[in-house]
Amino acid sequence: MSWDNSYVNFGLVTIEGQNRLKIYRNRDNYIYLTVGNESVKDVRWTGNTLTVYLNNGKVRRYSDQNNYITI
């Protein structure tokens, strides 16, 4: 699977609390992504991949809402 293009094209992601992301599809619609017990430092779209930088120095690349790799 991959991210729906409407999320990628809108391009807005906010950090909600320490470990929760709010990923917008448009101005009024969004989904939440919880990153376990890890604290999020930064998040960015890298092409069709959501790159999440964690405070512990790890970086996760989410190919969709449910699948990631740690790099």
Residue 3 pLDDT exceeds 90: yes
Between CA 4 and CA 62 the distance in angstroms is 12
* Per-residue pLDDT tens over the stretch 16-62: 999 999 999 999 999 999 998 999 999 999 999 999 999 999 999 99
Output the six-digit token pair for 37: 């017990």
Answer whether 0.85 is exceeded by the pTM.
Answer: yes
Contact 68, 1 (CB under 8 A): no
CA distances from 36 to 29, 43, 45, 57 (A): 23, 15, 20, 15
Residue 2 pLDDT exceeds 90: yes
How do beta strands 59-62 and 49-54 pair? antiparallel
At 1 the pLDDT is: 80
